[in-house]
Structures are given as C-alpha cells and as structure tokens.
A and B are shown apart, each in its own frame.
Chain A
C-alpha cells in the first residue's frame, strides 16, 4: 500500500534529532564555520556520552535518514563530526563479509569516539573512479598500499584523532582496468599512512577534508573487502568495482538527506522572516495572481518535496532489497541541485539578511553546494541515470 505515514518511532526520532540540532548544533554553528579545523570537542564529548540514546546512531534505514535530515538542518558540517563509521562504514556494509562487518564495525560504540572515512578521490581522478592509480600489492599474507588520496571527509578524525579506519580504493592490477580496483580497510595508526594536509573549504568547515599518503603501508590480507579475485574474462564489471558502485547506492540517498536538511533550514528561515513581516504564501491562488515571491517560495518548496520523496523512495527500495542504483542517483542528482538552488534563491530573497554573516543563511548556501559535488557530482549522477534509462554501457554513453 502506498503510504507516507511515519511510524511513531520515526516521529520520535525526528523530534529528538531536531531538538539536538537546535540546541546543540545551531548555537555553535557560526563559531565552527569561522574557526575552521578547530575541533568541536565539547560537542563531540557530549554526543559520545549520549550515544546510548540513539539520536546520533546512523544507520542506513529510513528512520536514520530522517534523523540525518534533522541534524543537517542544524549544521551539516557538525553533523559530519558525529563519531561513527560513516562513509567508511557504508563501504564495509556494501561489500564486506559478515565477519568483516563484525571486525571493523563491531567495536565502534565502545571506548573512545571513533570515525570511519572513505578514500576514493585522487589528485588525478574524481568521479572517474576507474582511473584510480593508488596500488595494492600482494606480499604474502599482506597488502602493501601506495598512493595519494585527497578529499577524504573526516580523514584526520578517523586516522589521527581516533582509533578509526579508512576504506581505501586501490588497484591490484593496473592492466585489469576496473576489474583490478578493490577496497581495503586501513586502521588508524598503520605505519606508512599519514595525513598530509587539510583543505580550506567553501563550506562544511567544521568537518575535515584530508589528503592521505600511503607509503608502503602494509595491512593484513583479510582487510580487502569483497572478493580478492580479479575476473580477467570480464574486464568491465567485477565485484571490486561493483563494490564501489554498491557503496554509492547506499551513500547517495544519505547525502541526499543531508542536502535536504540544509535546504529546509534555508526554507524555514525564509518562511519565518516572511511570517514576521506578515507575508502569507497563498497556495490556493491561481498562478497568474501569484507574486514573484510566492512563485519562488512555492517552487522552492516543491523542489524540496520532490527531492525528499525521491530520497525516501531510494531508501525504501534498499530496505525492500530491491536494486536501487537508478533511484539513488536520481535522488542524489535532484537533491544536490535542488538545495543548491533553494539556498541560493533564499539568499537572494532575503537580500541584506541573506548575505550577512549575522545570520546563518549565507553559510547554508555555502554548505549546500557540497551536496552537488561529493559522492558523485550532479553530472556524474545524471550520467548514471542516463545510462540506466537508455540501457547503455559506459562505452555507449561516455
């Protein structure tokens, strides 16, 4: 049955996450935007103490994602600072064995706060993950990693500030092309791995974005996720590369939800100001009678809703164990672009209030933009959607 009713558990989850976003994130939001690379230690400690309450436990189900939207409504950068396996966890979840899940994610709630990260992008390749040059060489019962990874979200927290891990994508055989690309779990403190630099960014400044160098970094053989075999017969599709893609099926709706949180923050702000000014949006007025402002607002609201429903559908399909690559990319492409436009429009509408750092709106515009870039740019997601609807291979549609 087609249904949009939230379970009582989901409603509670949203409420609690919203409260946390409002009371914990918003008050320090501006501070950490202006103090890039400073750790929100107090906040992290607080979250860690409260972890049993479940507000900050991030799963990949509909309920978790509804909470994610609320938390990002508070602050998308601070959201990324919440301890947990995060994108690294999603990679393990998508292509790891049951044992690996237990081994790498099992202890995450114990001891000191820990983070997980994912290292895919390199200086020479972003969306074109098949061009990865980092190498993993078999050496007896070990893998030896070499290469440079950039734009690793929460890389420093995962590897320097905590006992976390990073999932690294590297090729085991360059001549095998995509087939040779595999993912490896590298725990913090592994010799031969170091955080080289932190990026200075347009937005989500509370989160760190690291460059990581692997210099003869040696890890146990069992840290490879998925199948270590290279299927040479079929060079275009193998499990390793599929693992990367399966990871995206999981992470893209989550990024879409993060985007939605930022977009809604901007929308709520605008509506609040309009209400204060006594301006009402007339939903039942015919189109030709709407003011330009009403047209803008209703368009923003509709786009937010469109992105949200596409996101929920992608997640729901995942929960039904249905293949959702197409729907995940649709959600990500739509949400990334929708919130980019919503926040930019909001700044425009609010004029001096929008542009001023006295309010958070300008920050949300900067924060929102990342959602159209990381975990696959809007364009890459459009390409994936296009290939799927045309039933084209990557050779047929480049």
Chain B
C-alpha cells in the first residue's frame, strides 16, 4: 500500500544522522574544503553511529539490522545535507562492504564483513572510474585475465576515494567483456596508488589514481566466486545513493539561499518578496522533493530485489540535473556574495557538478 512515511526505526536513524550533520559537519566543512582534510575525530564519531555495521548480520559481527536501500538513501540525504566530502568519506567503507554483504561468497563474507564491525573506522574502497573520455561502467578498459590460479588485473583507475589508506579495495574490471569485481588487498604486487587527485570540488575527500600492472589476485578474490556479482545491481545501488546525496546537498543550498533571500533587502524589500527570486526557490523546492520521491521509489525496488536499472538511471540523471540547477541558483540568488568563499553556495556548486562523474563512489 502506497505510503511516504519512513518507519520509526528509520526516523530515528535519520534524526541521528541529521544531528551529526548539524553538530559536527556544518561548522567545519569550509575549513575541510580549504585544507583538503577531514579531522579523524569526526570520522571516528560518525563511525560510532554504526551506519555500516548496522546493516551487517550478527553472525558476521554486525548489529543485524536490515540492509535497506531506503534506509541508506535516508542516511545519505541527511549526511550530504551537512557535507558531501565527509559523507563520502564516512560511507566509503560501504563501497567494499555492501557488495560483499550482498553478493560475496560465504567465505568472503566471513573473512571481510567482521572487519567493518569494529570500534575503529575501517578504510576500504572501490575502484570503478577510469581516466579517459567516454568512460562506461559496462565497458571497462581495465581487464581481468583469468589464469589457472586466479586473475591478472591490468588498467588505470581514478577517483578512488581513500585509496592510499584503504586496506581493502574492490577493483572493477572487464573479464571477457563483462564487468566484475575483484578483491585486492593493500600491498598486492602490481597495485600502485598514484598521487592524490586535485578536483574542482569534494576537495576534502582524498581521491587517487590507481594503476594495476599485472596485479595478480587469487581465484577466491572474485566477488561472488564462480557465480560472480550482479554488476548491474551494484551500479543501480550506486546511482540511488548518489541521487539521495544530491537531494541532501541541494536541500542545503535551497535552505541557505531561501534564508538569505528573506534577509537580503533590495529596493526596500527582501528579495524573496520578488517573484523572480521566489519562483526560483519554488522550483528548487519542487524538484528537490520530486528527486527524493524518485530516489525512494528506486530504493524500494532495490529492497524488493527487483531489477532497478531503469528507475535508478532515470533518478540519477534527474538528480544530476536537479542538483546543478539548485546549487547554481543558490549562487545566483546570493549574487556576488554567492561567488565569494565566505558563503557555502560556491562550494556546493562545485560539489554538485561532480555527481555526473561520481559513478560508483557511493553505495546504499
């Protein structure tokens, strides 16, 4: 039966995430963006909320909550409302943990999942994006060549969050033309983490180029073993996560520019009392809500284990457009002040532009 009301448990998680975003993220995001660094203490505090271990079953050391894409979307939105870089950092281990949780073999689950249930933040990541024009997740240039004892990985990756500190990586590569995931542990021969990347936005998030030169992994490191993984589903989960984060980021920009427009006086009146400004804000509000609802619907389909290819890609594209429209208007409403780094809207615009590129950098 159609309902738009999160469960009580979800409401609790949401208010916890919101409070964290408000208390911990909002006061430092500018500094983090300028310095390109996130204080470890913030990441540790976030980790204690158990956002990832909460979805890991008890027999693997987690607290046994449901691994729900809807819950994940709700969390993603609230955190990204606070700051996108920190959100992606906090949730980065899920890039490894969730595909293992959902598609890993029993051995893989036993070996890896408990690592994400400790008190301390466990850095792990995934490498999907490749540094060339026309990047297509379904047609990867990085290859996985099967040999008798395992696989040989070759190729270049980029936008790999936390690659330098991650102990575990999930590397996506084409095996006979179709995309699969391979577990690569830190220090594996042939795995080279490059320089930290310098990007237009999400500056506080450390991302790296990665190169794989005849990097050999054992057979049992293929995600899902012989069966492999449901790559389509991983992409859909990523698209839903990013759409949720775009919604949260857009909401922050909307609220900020709305409040500004009510305070800023021009020609004797707050600029919000002019339709040119008010209608921009109205459209922003409508499109944010629309994107959220579409995200929920796609997440709901994921939770029902249905094919979500269409819904997820539609909402992701919609969110990409929405978030750039909203954050651009955020800057526009503040005018010259929006262009100045004293206000956050320019930061949000830079972060927003990245969503089209961020495939596989977040997951629910």
Contacts and interface: CB of A to CB of B under 8 A. Distances in A.
Interface of A: 1-7, 62, 283-289, 298-299, 301-302, 305-307, 309-310, 312-313, 316-317, 320, 327, 330, 333-334, 379, 382-383, 385-387, 389-390, 392, 396-398
B262 A316 contact: no
8 contacts: A2-B70, A285-B136, A305-B314, A306-B290, A330-B285, A382-B279, A382-B282, A389-B285
Contact of A284 (B138, B291, B293): B138
Given A2-B296, A306-B318, A310-B286, A397 B134 contact: no
Contacts of A5: 1-2
B42 interface: no
B313 A284 contact: yes
B28 to A, nearest CB: 28
A320 B5 CA distance: 10
Interface in B267-306: 272-273, 275, 278-279, 281-283, 285-287, 289-291, 293-294, 296-297, 299-301
Contacts of B2: 3-6, 62, 312, 316
B356 A390 contact: no
B5 A2 contact: yes
Given A2-B300, A283-B309, A389 B282 contact: yes
Interface residues of B, number: 52
A334 B313 contact: no
Nearest to B299: A2
B3 interface: yes
B315 interface: yes
Contacts of A398: 273, 275
Contacts, number: 136
Nearest to B311: A305
Residue in B138, B261, B282, B313 with the greatest tally of chain A CB atoms within 10 Å = B282
Contacts of B4: 2, 312-313, 316-317
A2 B6 CA distance: 5
Interface in B205-246: 232, 235
Q: Which 7 A-B pairs have the closest CB atoms?
A: A306-B290, A309-B293, A386-B278, A386-B282, A385-B282, A302-B318, A302-B314
Contact of B293 (A310, A379, A390): A310
A385 B280 CA distance: 11
Nearest to A290: B317
Contact of B279 (A284, A307, A312, A386): A386
Contacts of A3: 1-3, 300
Nearest to B235: A284
B273 A392 contact: yes
Contacts of A299: 317
Given A4-B297, A306-B291, A390 B281 contact: yes
A309 B278 contact: no
A320 B4 CA distance: 10
Contact of B297 (A309, A316, A317, A392): A309
Contacts of B279: 379, 382-383, 386
Contact of B356 (A287, A302, A334): A287
Contact of A302 (B262, B278, B294): B294
A339 B318 CA distance: 16
A379 B275 CA distance: 10
A312 B290 CA distance: 11
A286 B239 CA distance: 12
A283 B275 contact: no
A196 to B, nearest CB: 35
Contacts of B313: 283-284, 298
Given A2-B6, A289-B134, 7 more contacts: A2-B296, A287-B356, A302-B318, A316-B3, A330-B289, A379-B279, A392-B278
Given A284-B232, A284-B309, A305-B294, A385 B285 contact: yes
Interface string B76-111: 000000000000000000000000000000000000
B258 interface: yes
B290 A310 contact: yes
B137 A390 contact: no
Contacts of B296: 2, 4
A301 B258 CA distance: 29
Contacts of A385: 282, 285-286
Interface string B165-196: 00000000000000000000000000000000
A309 B298 CA distance: 12
Contacts of B273: 392, 396-398
Contacts of A287: 317, 320, 356
Contacts of A379: 279
Contacts of B291: 306
A313 B296 CA distance: 12
Contacts of B261: 390
